[in-house]
């Protein structure tokens, strides 16, 4: 099993999705991730959606594999002392509390690195930084998709905008956080000192719109919604067939000519109106009515076979049941049985070996006694913390 972060301890004070996804990835690479949760409430994501397993919802299950759960009230003096003991022995500290909360609790990066100069801290915020009118506000993925412009470019042109159907901003922020942490750990190998990594949902949202924002900054009108079409290439969108839908990506002039030949419409490739991609983008409304009727004449399987033979990229529009059952998904080995359920392992292999989660998500407080004992607490001290409601030991 590939575990490059073995021996690295991560203290995880995150909840919801972005932070937990970050630390789950670090855990999949071998880190010992100690998830610190309130003894009574735990991570709020445990309650998001129908219960999926004994420990909570499918949302929690999908972002907390491979971790140990330490139930701890960090606002109580005894809880904070236990947390600082953990920090002194840790390599990474990740938190996603509301802006200013960590500092108010005495858990800001400067304080923690005074306890442990090798510590890499990571703060996952909403709108980012300490400046700006929104810097102190909390945030969730759909709010960022709205405020950051993703909703404005998603959906059909004649309908209201929609959010992307996956938690794109949360997952992207988790990836950037993990990327920053790995970079800081790599640098620490030379300097012996940690870094304070900062990421935010809003900044991730802006980074997901690089060419749209660049064009707008250059004076172009803000882009609108294009459905499944890509505004810079044509034809590059979903087309209806006799029994379903196909995404066709004719991304250059050669592929457009091959598409026309496959559809028995070779004259379109010679039409000066559609000679280049900029021509086709400018005359998309003229081009599509010439392609759509032909594609509706055959079923998707027939078109896929013909397009593949012609070298034109195309894919069926599939629901997740079809995706889960597809031969390609199964061949990759990316689905992992975990705690009696199948889930998605990290999309990463090294030397042909799939990176996998080491264990199912923890129950709330499942490892409290174990972790506290590692920090030097006696059985009697752990029982006293539990009796005071500072911890929850199973």
Catalytic choice (170, 243, 253, 271): 170
154-158: long-range contacts (C-beta < 8 A, 24 or more apart)? 154/225, 155/225, 155/227, 156/225, 156/227, 157/224, 157/225, 157/226, 157/227
The tokens of 5 are what?
């972060």
User: Cα–Cα distance between 312 and 353 in angstroms, integer?
Assistant: 31
Residue 282 C-alpha from the chain's centroid: 34
Order across the sheet with 314-316: list the strands.
Answer: 236-240, 245-249, 314-316
- Cβ of 1: how many Cβ atoms within 10 Å? 10
Residues with Cβ within 8 Å of residue 76, at least 6 apart in sequence:
388, 389, 390
What residues have CB less than 8 Å from 328, skipping those under 6 apart? Answer: none
What DSSP line would sit under 60-102, residue for residue? HHTT-TTEEEEEB-TTSHHHHHHHHHHHHT-SEEEE-PSTTHH
To the nearest 10 degrees (0 to 180), the angle between helices 77-88 and 379-387 is 140
* Pair of tokens at residue 121: 């801290």
Q: Is 170 a catalytic residue?
A: yes
Can you read off the two tokens belonging to residue 186?
Answer: 């790599």
Q: Are strands 67-71 and 32-37 parallel, antiparallel or unpaired?
A: parallel
Query: Which sequence positions are flagged as catalytic?
Result: 170
């Amino acid at each position: 099993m590939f575990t490059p972060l073995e021996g690295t301890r991560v203290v995880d004070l995150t909840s919801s999705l972005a932070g937990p996804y970050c630390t789950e990835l670090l855990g999949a690479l071998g880190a010992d991730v100690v998830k610190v949760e309130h003894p009574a409430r735990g991570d709020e994501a445990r309650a998001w959606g129908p219960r999926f397993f004994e420990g909570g919802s499918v949302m929690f299950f999908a972002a907390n594999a491979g971790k140990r759960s330490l139930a701890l009230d960090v606002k109580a003096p005894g809880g904070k002392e236990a947390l600082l003991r953990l920090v002194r022995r840790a390599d990474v500290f990740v938190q996603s509390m509301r802006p200013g909360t960590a500092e108010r609790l005495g858990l800001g990066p400067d304080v923690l690195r005074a306890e442990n100069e090798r510590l890499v801290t990571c703060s996952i915020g909403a709108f980012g930084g300490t400046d700006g009118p929104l810097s102190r506000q909390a945030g969730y993925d759909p709010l960022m998709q709205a405020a950051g412009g993703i909703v404005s470019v998603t959906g059909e042109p004649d309908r209201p905008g929609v959010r992307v159907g996956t938690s794109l901003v949360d997952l992207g922020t988790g990836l950037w956080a993990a990327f920053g942490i790995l970079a800081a750990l790599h640098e620490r190998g030379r300097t012996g000192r940690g870094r304070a990594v900062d990421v935010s949902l809003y900044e991730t949202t802006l980074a997901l719109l690089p060419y749209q924002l660049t064009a707008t900054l250059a004076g172009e009108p803000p882009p609108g919604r294009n459905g499944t079409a890509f505004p810079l290439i044509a034809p590059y969108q979903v087309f209806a067939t006799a029994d379903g839908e196909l995404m066709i990506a004719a991304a250059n002039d050669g592929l457009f000519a091959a598409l026309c030949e496959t559809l028995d419409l070779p004259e379109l490739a010679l039409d000066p109106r559609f000679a280049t991609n900029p021509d086709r983008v400018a005359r998309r409304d003229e081009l599509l009515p010439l392609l759509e009727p032909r594609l509706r004449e055959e079923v998707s399987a027939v078109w896929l076979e013909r397009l593949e033979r012609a070298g034109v990229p195309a894919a069926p529009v599939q629901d997740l049941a079809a995706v889960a059952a597809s031969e390609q998904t199964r061949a990759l080995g990316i689905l992992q049985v975990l705690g009696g359920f199948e889930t998605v392992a990290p999309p990463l292999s090294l030397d042909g070996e799939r990176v996998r989660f080491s264990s199912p998500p923890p129950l709330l407080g499942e490892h409290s006694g174990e972790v506290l004992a590692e920090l030097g607490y006696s059985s009697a001290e752990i029982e006293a913390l539990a009796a005071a409601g500072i911890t929850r030991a199973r």
